[in-house]
Amino acid sequence: METSGSPPRVLVVDDDLYQRHSTAEILRLSGFEVDEAPNGFEAVKALQSKRYEAMLLDLKMPGMSGEEVLRRLPEIAPEVEVVLLTAHGSLDSAILALRQGAVDYLRKPATAEQIVDAVSKAVSKYRERRRKEELLGALERSIRELKGEHSSVEGLQAFASREEGATAPKIQVDWDRRIVRFGDAEVYLTPAESRLFRVLWEAQGKVVPHGKLVRLVQGYEAEAWEAPEITRPLVSRLRAKLAKLPGGDKWIVNVRGTGYVLDTSAIGNAPSE
């Protein structure tokens, strides 16, 4: 996990070479660890390969625009906080930024102070959210310990054995460390991903409605119309992690208009590496 003493990691995305280098240098001089991307395609590649706390994103770029990068964030990097930087300032652009979850909106040419203040705000929001996730994870572990539950999920292994048969690999989960192992592969989950996976697993093959997933994973009630929009990026992120396990890309199934289910038959048929 990022700590308050580690340099904030930021991605600057701008097709204007001078503007990009200038902005990146301003942030570096202010103590940020900065990577640069000249367009939306390179930004997506960077986001898929490294975890960033904040991204300063030009809204209007040739090829893949900033708007397209924003639309893809729920699937590739839902945790990153976004600050938009554009010469095309307008009410419509500002509304788009807010709807897509941007924490701030700057018009070119922005001053060094404005850039640093906006990115600092984004990093603070990112770290506060991560801190809350860690606290919630610690609270959940304490509650399980008080109830006499085990973090090694021996019960889950037994359930997997019944589904898979004696010769198939078993799923192993370490809830405290948020690790899922299958065959010779393993993946690390975020606190939210771990909660989501546990809810689906404990349903034992039953469909979990969108609203219930939001309540159990995010901790609040959502309207029926918005619950699917909230769960979709969460499930997408978890699927991307599980896809690194043998057959893991088929484990979570979308039941149209209802919710999601963990397909134990797909798990049982997953090949062993």
pLDDT-wise least confident of 94-108, 125-139, 156-170: 156-170
The confidence score (pLDDT) of residue 158 equals 38
Closest CA to 180 of 203, 196, 163, 197: 197
The most confident of the ranges 68-82, 96-110, 194-208 is 194-208
The confidence score (pLDDT) of residue 174 equals 86
Residue 263, classed as helix, strand or coil, is coil
Domains 9-131 and 154-268 share a fold: no
pLDDT-wise least confident of 11-20, 48-57, 173-182: 173-182
Residue-wise pLDDT tens digits, 224-245: 888 888 888 889 889 988 988 8
The most confident of the ranges 30-39, 72-81, 167-176 is 30-39
The confidence score (pLDDT) of residue 226 equals 82
Hey, which residues does 209 pair with through a beta bridge?
Answer: 259
Confidence of residue 177 (pLDDT cuts 50, 70, 90): confident
**Per-position b or e across 235-263, b if 16+ CB within 10 A of its CB:** bebbbbbbeebbbbeebbeeeeeebbbbe
Domain edges within the chain: 9-131, 154-268
Confidence of residue 166 (pLDDT cuts 50, 70, 90): very low
Is the predicted pLDDT of residue 20 greater than 80, yes or no?
A: yes
pLDDT-wise least confident of 72-76, 90-94, 229-233, 249-253: 90-94
Residues 6+ apart with CB under 8 A from 216: 195, 199
CATH of 154-268, one of 3.40.50.300, 2.50.20.10, 1.10.10.10, 1.10.8.620: 1.10.10.10
CATH of 9-131, one of 3.40.50.2300, 3.90.1010.10, 3.50.90.10, 3.40.605.10: 3.40.50.2300
